[in-house]
Structure 1
């Protein structure tokens, strides 16, 4: 199951601002990913090959975070939530489509 859409629906229903919404999603998924570390380690998912891939992709993660912060201050709150609702609707439709096996 993907946690993004349910988290988005819940947070959107709370009537919080753009900064609180984004900070909450960052913290929630950071905690979820930290909790997944131990089981993933026991499954042997972390190898020298994945470590090299992590190192190669780290600059892009930093660039993406930097661009996200810039976008946060550029995109007006009303537009941010409009985009969020549209993308949530598209994601929900895709999940329903996949669930129906069409």
Structure 2
């Protein structure tokens, strides 16, 4: 009973982070947005192999978790841009470290 209670109240910080940024396409979206705001089509072209549905789902997930912001403009046709929030920009260090790790070990 005590172990069950501890499991319910204990939250692993790595598990929490992976719930937000652990999706298949998440880091690639963040990587692209570290260079500035982009439109959906620009992201889709830059991320090899991502489907429109997967990209849409990833963008919505990151918006809900305050990693990126979606800005819609009243143009014809409608224009939408995605950019990183301060919280999303804080992931730049992690992306850099992943690149360094991949160069050495992958």
TM-score > 0.5 by shorter chain: no
More strand by share: 2
Q: TM-score scaled by structure 1?
A: 0.35
Q: TM-score scaled by structure 2?
A: 0.34
Higher RCO by CA contacts (8 Å cutoff, separation 6 or greater): 1
